[in-house]
Amino acid sequence: MKIGILGLGLIGGSLGFDLRSQGHNVLGVSRRESTCQKAVALGSVEQASVDLSLLASAEVVFICTPIALIVPQFEQLIAYLPSTTVVTDVGSVKAPIVEAISPLWDNFIGGHPMAGRADSGIEAAQRDLFVGKPYVLTPETRTPTAAISVVEEIVRSLGANIYHCQPEQHDRAVAWISHLPVMVSSSLIAACMSETDSEVLQLAQKFASSGFRDTSRVGGGNPELGLMMARYNRQALLRSLQHYRHNLDKLIHLIEQEDWTVLEERLKSTGKARPDFVE
Ligand code: NAP
């Protein structure tokens, strides 16, 4: 099959490696000529260009640009595509993308591979990135079944586990387990930095070990990602932050009241619930 990838970075480049190893003919388009050359040299794509017209002959196109560019790039791309081309994207937020693209393209299916790394760009692309990872698809009731099957078949061949849901359900779910943790973790670091006694602050910095490393990791990462989550998943993120604040208030109340029995029950119940999210 002839497959096009628009945006040759971590996700687009990694997709290219795996699709080529499945025997597909992979064409890539990216913003910079130097990225196109690297992608070909690394073997992620067979041919690459900064010109969208290269994708005109692709049967399926994966849009893998930064999230803010998915819709604008799609709008430019469709001038070159026959209506039979199946288009999908890999954006980490689904509702705003699906709402914008679906009315313009029948053969569109929103997607989100839940795999990644902290690094970005074509240099960070790697083989087998999606193996054993969830890959969410958000087809609509009117999405042609043939288009869904084509994308499913490709995703399955990457070794990913396919999940279907509504775009809004996806955005609410990722708000809980991906976007809220970034905000909570960032607030944790900010709260520690508010220590007014500089000696105590320095001691805290020296004493910080594995617990702080685990809980602060996602709050100390790429600020662009956090900003993207807040801008594109604003409603769901605000909702989960409000629930979090409510839970924090409950904890404060229990400690103020020295209600150790209820606090212990609470800690036991969260300990029991954690394995339902992560092994
Ligand atoms: P990335 O490594 O920064 O790659 C994005 C690539 O898009 C860049 O390398 C850039 O290539 C290219 N690009 C930028 N503007 C472009 C344009 N106007 N036209 C064509 N290409 C353009 O980012 P990523 O991590 O792969 O993320 C890409 C998408 O995957 C995002 O929508 C994100 O939400 C989603 N996603 C990311 C992860 C993750 O963990 N990183 C996980 C799942 C989904 P040049 O070098 O040519 O500028």
The CA distance from 21 to 174, in Å, is: 30
Residue 3 beta carbon below 6 angstroms from any ligand 1 atom: no
Same domain, 88 and 8: yes
Residue 7 beta carbon below 6 angstroms from any ligand 1 atom: yes
Q: What percent of the chain has pLDDT over 70?
A: 100
Residue 35 beta carbon below 6 angstroms from any ligand 1 atom: yes
- Taking the centre of ligand 1 as the mean of its atom positions, its distance from the CA of residue 185, in whole angstroms, is 24
pLDDT at 118 over 80: no
CATH code for position 180 = 1.10.3660.10
Residue 220 beta carbon below 6 angstroms from any ligand 1 atom: no
Give 152's contacts (C-beta < 8 A, 6+ positions apart). Answer: 137, 162
Same domain, 184 and 245: yes
The CA distance from 41 to 170, in Å, is: 36
CATH code for position 14 = 3.40.50.720
Same domain, 65 and 202: no
Overall pTM surpassing 0.85 (yes/no) = yes
pLDDT score recorded for residue 70 = 98
Q: State which residues form the domain around 152.
A: 2-165
- Taking the centre of ligand 1 as the mean of its atom positions, its distance from the CA of residue 90, in whole angstroms, is 9
Same domain, 95 and 160: yes
Same domain, 131 and 95: yes
For ligand 1, atom 42, the nearest C-alpha belongs to 116
Cβ 154 vs Cβ 60: under 8 Å? yes
pLDDT score recorded for residue 198 = 98
Residue 234 burial class via C-beta count within 10 angstroms: exposed 0-12, middle 13-18, buried 19 and up: middle
Rg from Cα positions in the chain: 22
The CA distance from 259 to 253, in Å, is: 8
pLDDT digits 0-9 by tens, 13-55: 999 999 999 999 999 999 999 999 999 999 999 999 999 999 9
- Taking the centre of ligand 1 as the mean of its atom positions, its distance from the CA of residue 12, in whole angstroms, is 7
Residue 91 beta carbon below 6 angstroms from any ligand 1 atom: yes
pLDDT score recorded for residue 74 = 98
Beta bridge partners of 61: 4, 87
Same domain, 34 and 143: yes
Same domain, 154 and 204: no
- Taking the centre of ligand 1 as the mean of its atom positions, its distance from the CA of residue 279, in whole angstroms, is 29
- Taking the centre of ligand 1 as the mean of its atom positions, its distance from the CA of residue 197, in whole angstroms, is 42
pLDDT digits 0-9 by tens, 136-156: 999 999 999 999 999 999 999
Residue 231 beta carbon below 6 angstroms from any ligand 1 atom: no
Residue 64 beta carbon below 6 angstroms from any ligand 1 atom: yes
pLDDT score recorded for residue 271 = 97
Residue 65 beta carbon below 6 angstroms from any ligand 1 atom: yes
Same domain, 179 and 135: no
pLDDT score recorded for residue 222 = 82
